Amino acid sequence: MTTTRMTKRIQLSIGQTVDTEPRSRRMKVYQLHNPGMVHRLQRLARQDDIDKILFYVKREQIPRLIGTGCVFEGYIHGFFRGETAYIFSLFLNPDRNHPVSHDQQRRVMNLVKNDHKKIDGLSLPEGYVMSKAVKADTPEMARLYDTIFETYPTPMNDPQYISDMMDRQVFFSIIRYRGRIVSACSADLLPTFNSAEITDCATLPQHRNQLLLSHQFSHQVQQMRQKKVQTLFCYARAVSAGMNLITARHGFTYGGRMVQNSQIAGRLECMNIWFKQLL
């Protein structure tokens, strides 16, 4: 998730904010001024039971991480207003720096590599209607997320939380079938970087294989392009063939894998990085 959806914020004396996600026991840092900042963040992280720190840095900032123990996990081209973000992680618990379900992850990527389908001329199946989500939809949206995910990095089963996100430049789409919300996703705008994340993708099991999320992906890509967003990115569960296929078919580029990165579906899972240049 992005900076708009963190549940705790630490204000450093240097004037920068560092966001943490307690559910995933991780911390994200988008500005790195000097190597000393890494050591300070380690101390703060241990106080809050955080055992993974992610640094999103520009190329010229990479030398500041030398000797800190950080490992390179991936990149998002164009993340910083057109400049590439290189993602390094510091694992405060060595046990966390191990892939989960490695064989399944490999099978998913092999499936993606051998898939050559493209998304063209999408239309919703009969009976399905897509719309922009509004605050009146949040109770039903929360039930949707609660039904699908055993655990999730952020409290998407809380209507008030979803409502608050709508006030923070998070744009939700929903699809209804016979008046009931059966699928949803969002585009989470990061104005500081002129980037956006497609996230919170969910479809009820009985309505899958209808290309509902693909339809919403197309909508979100178009919406972010209209807003002059430079780069769109997505973190897909490394064990989920569906989400990785969707991003690849929509022209996203694979940017690497973040190990045990997100608390989702009852455990910490690895997430594949995907990105797409819109401008």
Query: 102-277 belongs to which CATH class?
Result: alpha beta
| Domain boundaries of the chain, sorted by first residue | 3-96, 102-277
Identity at 233, one-letter amino acid code: F
Whether 175 and 182 have beta carbons less than 8 Å apart is answered as yes
Asked whether 211 and 120 are in contact (CB, 8 A), the reply is no
**How many residues are present in the chain?**
279
Q: Contact 47/7 with Cβ under 8 angstroms?
A: no
Domains 3-96 and 102-277 share a fold: yes
The pLDDT value given to residue 8: 52
Phi, psi of 25 (to 5 degrees): 50, 45
Catalogue the E-assigned strands of 34-169.
Answer: 52-57, 71-80, 83-91, 128-132
- Look at residue 13 and tell me whether its pLDDT is greater than 60: no
Cα–Cα dist 81/242, whole Å: 29
Render pLDDT for 247-274 as a digit per residue (tens, 0 to 9). Answer: 999 999 999 999 999 999 889 999 999 9
Judge whether residue 5 has pLDDT over 60: no
- 211: enclosing H helix or E strand: none
Average pLDDT over residues 198-216: 95
Across residues 71-77, what is the average pLDDT? Answer: 98
Q: Among 20-34, 157-171, 202-216, whose mean pLDDT is lowest?
A: 20-34
pLDDT of residue 1: 37
Lowest mean pLDDT among 42-46, 130-134, 160-164: 42-46
Q: Could you name the CATH architecture of 3-96? A: 3-Layer(aba) Sandwich (3.40)
| Longest Cα–Cα distance in the chain | 58
End-to-end Cα distance, the chain: 23
Distance (Å, whole) CA 27 – CA 261: 10
d(CA 173, CA 23): 25
